[in-house]
Amino acid sequence: MRKLASFAQGQWVAGTGTPATMLHAVTGEPVATASSEGLDFKAMLEYGRRVGGPAMRKLTFHERARMMKALAQYLMGRKDEFYALSAATGATKSDSWVDIEGGIGTFFVYSSKGRRELPNETFYVDGDVEPLSKGGTFVGRHVCVPLEGVAVHINAFNFPVWGMLEKLAPTFLAGMPAIVKPATATSFLTELVVRAMIDSKILPEGALQLIVGGVGDLFEHLTCQDVVTFTGSASTGRKLKAHPRIIEESIRFNMEADSLNFCMLGPDAAPGTEEFDLYIKEVAREMTLKAGQRCTAIRRAIVPAAYSDEVIKALGKRLAGSTLGDPSVEGVRMGPLASRAQVAEVRKSVDGIKAAATVVFGDYDNFTVTGADRGKGAFFPPMLLHCADPLGTSAAHDIEAFGPVSTVMGYQSVAEACELAKRGKGSLCGSLFTASDDVARDVVLGTAAFHGRLNIVSRRSAKEQTGHGSPLPHMVHGGPGRAGGGEEMGGMRSVMHYLQRTAVQAHPQTITRVTGVWTKGADTPTDVAHPFSKHFEDIQVGDTLFTHRRTVTEADVVNFAGMSGDYFYAHTDEIAAKDSLFGRRVAHGYFVLSAAAGLFVYPPKGPVLANYGLERLRFTKPVYPGDTIQVRFTCKQKTAKDTPPDGVPQGVVEWDVEVTNQDQDICAVYSILTLVARKPTA
């Protein structure tokens, strides 16, 4: 039996005092012991702030992203160790896949998104420039910088790996150190993964600490720069959220609580349709995956009242084919709950729901277990209930059985179905099976305010949809009300949870220097050398080229129409153009872009490798034959890139482009992105 240790202040520390014992969910045998007694929680927080924080903040977003990718690759190389120990939690192979590789996959996703969506900087500039004065000498921008505290992650027992990694991914990308506190019941698996992360030596010192056992007086030492995230029961989450220190210091607290998620069968999805069959498969799968111990599991099956009997019959048949037992035995589809304590808790919850519903499948006093001793393991059978009066009773909407339990309830109209969905008082997710886009619209708009995520499934999306209960790194995971009122993941949204957004108000030149992004009104230094003749390192933000001028002729317009095939009347029909908003024939907007490129492009071969793209194009004033245009071409921002496989070191330069006419009226504005070679190293 292993004695688990916490990782505190760069050292593995075994707790003192009487430890808690964790039991194998299948056999009931002791697996490990753990205690956090003797840890100096105040010192752990100070160590994270003093050592881990500065080390993380000096890295850019891209450096952190590359670090996360390397760590994910390292963990994938050791996944067999994790799978072997995951069996002690009662997980089947597919359960472990969701937990282990799903968690590691979250690191891969955030690494990729961080390099694509965030700058190669230690801070993030949020939103556009806000003009704050008439003359343009006083403007504002928002910058986001990492908080200078520690992120404390308190996780649930059901996903000891994914629950940790899905929180660490945005935390590390944002540049904050973390203290992870897993639920004790399955902390032996979390500890193994943390040991691997520390063994990798990829993370900076102080970036990650671990507590196995209780949190002691940790909360008493939190400050306004710290962040707390919690996943678990709504009652525990409310207690932590109301801690005096959380309130006094206005500490950011993100809560993701178990909820009474719904899965709805559309009125069009009658028995015999593909959507009906997909619905039955999904509800049964969600009831048995992880033995129903998922915060996103389907707790309420909302179906047309006329189909209730058919749904119950089909679900019963499907559930009867799910063999309960030791996941290591061939043919076992569902494992035990995480602990015997959970068995008692789920049984108590089922008894509460039975006050307003009837059991239509399953019996917690009489069920078969394959390959294991029912009396020693934490086994609980799939149970299906039916609530005949879901609008008149509340138990099925108030009580969550955190196991393989779901309640079928009928509705008479889509509006009534939406009302039933909202009776959960805020849920992490809901799903709808329908072939009708009109029903989908009504349900989304009728339930979205009470749900963090809605998954719509039809025969058209069936093969690729990811499932009712599968939170994805790209999408928000969380929900209002009972679900905790927080948001996890959701791509860059969750990264912002660990950053402070600050408004900076100053002259455009000051804003440019602070942010590293050229702001209109700032200096525009010019040089004899053309910007396209310079390597990435030699280009400075603000470097500007004012081009020579070009007068647009009628021949230009006619020739461009012939070359492009764009004979739109405003360009080619003088009579029709008189009645247009332009008043007469006007040059093509894309001709203006082409002519502008001809003015600012440097023809000889040089460090510019390619045009990378064009963004934020706006045509602000028409250009007529006879107008004379000129271009201001300014380096707006530089981003160094990883060296590609072809071995050419390079970076992306964003150029702010402004096209004006002879009266200095702005005719077009946009950004050009170019790939520019870096200087070769000696």
What residues are labeled active site?
256, 295
Three-class DSSP labels, 528-597: CCCHHHCCHHHCCCCCEEECCCEECCHHHHHHHHHHHCCCCHHHHCHHHHHCCCCCCCCCCHHHHHHHHH
Q: Report angle CA 154, 68, 122 to the nearest 5 degrees.
A: 95
What are 258's two structure tokens? 């178990």
**In terms of residues, how long is the chain?**
682
Order of all β-strands in the sheet with 451-457: 358-361, 383-387, 405-411, 298-304, 261-265, 427-433, 451-457
Task: Give every CB contact of residue 297 below 8 A, 6+ residues apart in sequence.
Answer: 261, 286, 287, 289, 290, 406, 469
**How far is it, in rounded angstroms, from Cα 595 to Cα 556?**
10
How far from 396 is each of 79, 357, 433, CA to CA, in Å? 39, 8, 21
> For residue 619, which of 655, 591, 584, 577 has the smallest C-alpha distance?
591
**How far is it, in rounded angstroms, from Cα 145 to Cα 496?**
9
Instruction: Give the three-class secondary structure for 100.
Output: helix
Quick check: 215 and 154 in contact, CB under 8 A?
yes
> Count of CB atoms within 10 A of residue 1's CB?
10
Three-class DSSP labels, 107-167: HHHHHHHHHHHCCCCCCEEEEEEEECCCCCCCEEEEEEEECCCCEEEECCCCCCCHHHHHH
> For residue 211, which of 48, 53, 35 has the smallest C-alpha distance?
35
How far from 629 is each of 42, 107, 237, 275, CA to CA, in Å? 65, 49, 62, 59
Task: Give every CB contact of residue 557 below 8 A, 6+ residues apart in sequence.
Answer: 571, 572, 585, 587, 588, 591, 625
**How far is it, in rounded angstroms, from Cα 597 to Cα 180?**
53
Beta bridge pairs of residue 304: 411
What are 518's two structure tokens? 């050229």
